[in-house]
A and B are shown apart, each in its own frame.
Chain A
Amino acid sequence: MRYVVTVAGHEVVVEVDGTLVRVDGATVEAAIEGDVASGRVVLTLDGTRYPLRVSPGAARGAYTIGSAGWTVPVEALDERRRAIRALMRATARPSGPTPLVAPMPGLIVRVHVRPGDVVAAGQPLVVMEAMKMENELRATAAGVVRSVAVLPGAAVEKGTVLVALDAPGADGA
């Protein structure tokens, strides 16, 4: 099985064939003991053992691996999953204006809009506080507010949808 592994921004191709691994033009005997659930694994390369720390990432094949003073996010994708991901990226086209999401964790200070409001691109929708500063979050495209998911005072995580928008003209607006 051929994997493309992204390590701290670098792509490394690793071919796994039973107990043999081909990487950077060299073939080595490789094995891993332990699993992600234990937090620790031992990698053996040509008889030398390397203890590694590991924790699971957000998706299958994604981990955070620690070795020799480094803790880095990695993702190993096989050919099939790489193909699926490329396909999803090519076909993923937003069906309307993208919803407003929290770019960072923070506290909602003010909400400027209500469902049904017509908004222009660049119009401030929500003010959130993060790192002791108020940040104005603006609409990336024109649209009609479908729903507002937060109230002032709410603590939100990064990626939380704050305001959902419909395309302008939808619902007869």
Chain B
Amino acid sequence: MRPLRSVLIANRGEIALRVVRACRELGLRSIAVYSDADAGAPHVRAADVAVRLGPASASESYLRGDHLIEIAVAHGADAIHPGYGFLSEREWFARAVREAGLIWVGPPAEAIAAMGSKTAARTLAIQAGTPVVPGTTTPLRDAAEAEALAAEFGYPVLLKAAAGGGGKGMRIVRGPGEVAGALESARREAQNAFGDDAVYLEKYIEGPRHVEIQVLADAHGTCLALGERECSIQRRHQKMIEEAPSVAVTPELRARMGAAAVAAARAAGYVNAGTCEFLLDRHGAFYFLEMNTRIQVEHPVTELVTGLDLVQWQLRIAAGERLPFTEPPEPRGWAIECRITSEDPASGFLPSTGRVMRLALPTGPGVRWDGGIEVGSTVGLYYDPMLAKLIVHAPTRAAAIARMRRALDDLVIDGVATSADFHRRLMDDPAYQAGDVDIQWLEGRLPALLAATPDAATTRRIAVAAALLAAHERPGTVASHARPAAGAGTPPTDGASAGAAVVDGGSAWWQAARRDGLGGS
């Protein structure tokens, strides 16, 4: 096997930086790649060398598998780490990397293919004995068949139009007496809406949580489940907060879910880090959804409660190392992650753009920042809006929530609207604090969270402060020159490194203020 000494990182942003750091700590040479939009990005400066890929658009840069392999070969890389997103779950790319004689830091192409589509993964899971949401694969013939199946799956069940969409032709059936009537109306509605009255039946999952199991497998037959992550706080199927462990998972359930995940992974011939996603209903029954054949965005919460460096283990497994343990560690303490995105809650979570003018990062015990921005970073529209992940670890869930509140209070990002304040509101929510959530909870709670305003005393203090600042700013006072012209600030691009505790762009403001004061530009 080829020795692993250098790694090309086929990604950008925080995950590229995360992989560079792991390489550095393992004594591996790192090769970054960048699009024209990322030429000055932190991951480019952090790596040992960085190579241009192409124009800003992802299809001309980070998605150019052919270029990535050419660059890897030309610069003497032994391996390619794909990160998440982009080409990380493309079977053809994993295959092409292997065929070029390089090591793929991820599962074999065959395992990616086996888990590649939801239907293929479902078939594989059924064969491995991993539970899936019970359902029919052919249209229902009549009410008698529907009743028989419902009795087998257990009520409640869901009738679903084959042509489905928008809730049309959909009925929740809670008992045998309702089946015939519900089937008739679902068919009629489906016929009217889609011109097709085919209706399927599946088990209806009540109050489902999204709980996933981290799997880590070496090439020597060891395959371990490293516990669960709770990812039910979602908006439009995008996770906003992740935790490990989950309030809904007991040690006994953890062991059963872990065994189910390992069975599915083994059936796919899985090696390296991967994640099995499950729906967990309020009665403790769980159902396999799919397997993500890559490192996950939310891997840090598992790292904090297990003490394992998953990205380092990805590289060590790719190099042929054996896992040195045969039992997964018990989770220790509680970890929470907030995905800080450049989405503006005040304007319906539309992506915001701009330049980071000031950045103060929270530090202190149990606080971790996996970020891809620094002062001067331009936040554009070419890539994913996730700027960074703020992760905390504490002995208990309540202490972790308190720590996250404190960390969010300490976080300052000026220049781009972010989701940070929304996360801060979530930490104060009683239902969130009680862990009483499911995957639909956040959507229902959004209006109240967005309408929340500060208490009267805070409002009064802010109002007085604004009035005093405005009074100081009146013409003829010194402070009237303090405001930079909109967009005129040119922050230093050689700002302190992203790893520094507090990165202050004060000099940029000062420069802008000075320009303003001198009447220039």
Task: Please give the residue numbers on chain A whose beta carbons come within 8 Å of chain B beta carbons, in ascending order.
Answer: 1, 3, 5, 7-10, 12, 14, 16, 21, 23-24, 28, 30-32, 35-39, 41, 43, 45, 50, 52-56, 58, 60-61, 63-72, 74-78, 104-107, 130-131, 155, 157-158
Contacts and interface: CB of A to CB of B under 8 A. Distances in A.
A135 B208 CA distance: 33
Interface in B452-484: 453-454, 456, 458-474, 479, 482-484
B482 A32 contact: no
Interface stretch (B70-78, B118-126, B266-274, B408-416): B408-416
A131 B469 contact: no
Nearest to A153: B57
A61 B357 CA distance: 19
Given A9-B453, A50-B461, A105 B466 contact: no
B380 interface: yes
B381 A155 contact: yes
A21 B470 CA distance: 13
B334 interface: no
Given A37-B482, A131-B350, A21 B468 contact: yes
B458 A70 contact: yes
B506 interface: yes
9 contacts: A1-B471, A3-B467, A35-B479, A39-B412, A43-B461, A50-B461, A65-B465, A74-B463, A105-B350
A60 B474 CA distance: 9
Contacts of A131: 350-351
B489 to A, nearest CB: 10
A14 B458 CA distance: 14
Q: How large is the interface on B (under 10, 10 to 19, 20 to 34, 35 or more residues)?
A: 35 or more
Contact of B463 (A5, A53, A70): A5
Nearest to A42: B465
B358 interface: yes
A145 to B, nearest CB: 26
A38 B479 CA distance: 11
A72 B408 CA distance: 14
A106 B351 CA distance: 9
Given A7-B462, A36-B483, A106-B381, 15 more contacts: A7-B454, A7-B459, A12-B460, A21-B468, A23-B460, A28-B464, A32-B472, A37-B506, A56-B484, A63-B466, A70-B424, A74-B466, A78-B470, A105-B351, A107-B381
Contacts of B412: 39, 53, 66
Given A56-B483, A105-B351, A14 B467 contact: yes
A69 B408 contact: yes
Interface of B: 347, 350-353, 357-358, 380-382, 405, 408-409, 412, 414, 420-421, 424, 428, 453-454, 456, 458-474, 479, 482-484, 486, 504, 506, 509-510, 513
Contacts of A9: 453
Contact of B465 (A32, A61, A105): A32
Contacts of A158: 350, 353
A65 B462 contact: yes
Contact of B472 (A35, A72, A155, A157): A35
Contacts of B471: 1, 3, 16
Contacts of B351: 104-105, 130-131
A67 B350 contact: no
A77 B469 CA distance: 11
A75 B468 contact: no
Contacts of B464: 14, 21, 23, 28, 30, 43, 45
B467 A21 contact: yes
Contact of A8 (B357, B408, B459): B459
A52 B465 contact: yes
Contacts of A31: 468
A32 B381 CA distance: 38
B275 to A, nearest CB: 23
Closest 3 CB pairs of A and B: A12-B463, A14-B467, A76-B470
A76 B469 contact: yes
Nearest to B409: A69
Contacts of B466: 3, 5, 7, 14, 61, 63, 65, 74-76
Nearest to B514: A37
B467 A76 contact: yes
A69 B473 contact: no
A115 B89 CA distance: 45
Nearest to A68: B458
